[in-house]
Amino acid sequence: MFIGHFAPALAARAVTAEAPKLGTLFIAAQLTDWAFFLFALGGIEHLRLVPGITAMNPLDFYDYPITHSLIGTGGFALAMAVAVWFFLRNAVAATWAAIVVMSHWVLDWISHRPDLTIAGGEHKIGLGLWNYPLAAMGVELALVGLAVWWYLRRTKGPIGPVAILVAVMLVFQAINWFGPEPQDVGAPFLFLGMFAFGVLTFLAFWVGKTRWHRNEIGLGVASPPR
């Protein structure tokens, strides 16, 4: 799953004005993948190419207990919550940030083959949705579509920035699905993945500056466009 990971970020921002801004939630949504790519660059965690390992994805994530075990993800969620609380002094915002971080493991558990763990070790789990391409595509698009719809319903502001964000998300997802399979998973591949995360996060921060929650009132709320 790729852009589907951002659905919980959009949903969290839709739920309450106390949730962190959308860009921060986009960071939370992919925090463990940011960490994994950096750890893979440093040789701390590992992946390799195994063509055909799933119907949709040739990547074998055979060693990532720090970032993608349930306990490890919980550690990243706690760290994100502490960071959000430090800057915002808001326990609700910190809680929603942690929930979005944890959602990454749940969505990976649905889509990955058995390569996730609870706390490291040999026992690995995963429902393997990637082995059913049409179902996997449908689930991912449905998650994003519903989250964007809800975000638009619960926030005010111009539609243009949201449309640009969604368009770029769909382009990146199309490349992920239909582009040529990677020939190597070295530094260029890892930096390309982080570049994609960075572009989408930048756009999410931009979108967040153009929209406000319907429950927000007062001087902090921007005037609607004329």
DSSP state of 121: S
| Structural domain of 159 | 3-213
Asked if residue 36 is part of any domain, the answer here is yes
Mean local confidence (pLDDT), 67-91: 97
- How many residues are present in the chain? 226
Residue 60 pairs in a beta bridge with 48
Asked if residue 220 is part of any domain, the answer here is no
Asked if residue 95 is part of any domain, the answer here is yes
Residue 19 pairs in a beta bridge with none
Average pLDDT, the chain: 94
- Quote the pTM value: 0.93
Asked if residue 28 is part of any domain, the answer here is yes
CB–CB of 27/87 below 8 Å? no
The tokens for 155 are: 């926030």
Asked if residue 223 is part of any domain, the answer here is no
Asked if residue 136 is part of any domain, the answer here is yes
Residue 214: pLDDT band with limits 50, 70, 90 = confident
CA atoms within 13 A on the CB side of 154: 18
Asked if residue 72 is part of any domain, the answer here is yes
Asked if residue 121 is part of any domain, the answer here is yes
Whether the pLDDT of residue 150 is over 90: the answer is yes
The total of structural domains in the chain comes to 1
Mean local confidence (pLDDT), 58-85: 97
Whether the pLDDT of residue 220 is over 80: the answer is no
Residue 216: pLDDT band with limits 50, 70, 90 = confident
Helices (H), the chain: 7-15, 22-29, 31-41, 65-68, 70-88, 91-111, 133-154, 159-178, 187-210
Residue 217: pLDDT band with limits 50, 70, 90 = low
Whether the pLDDT of residue 218 is over 70: the answer is no
Write the pLDDT tens digit of every residue in 83-124: 999 999 999 999 999 999 999 999 999 999 999 999 998 999
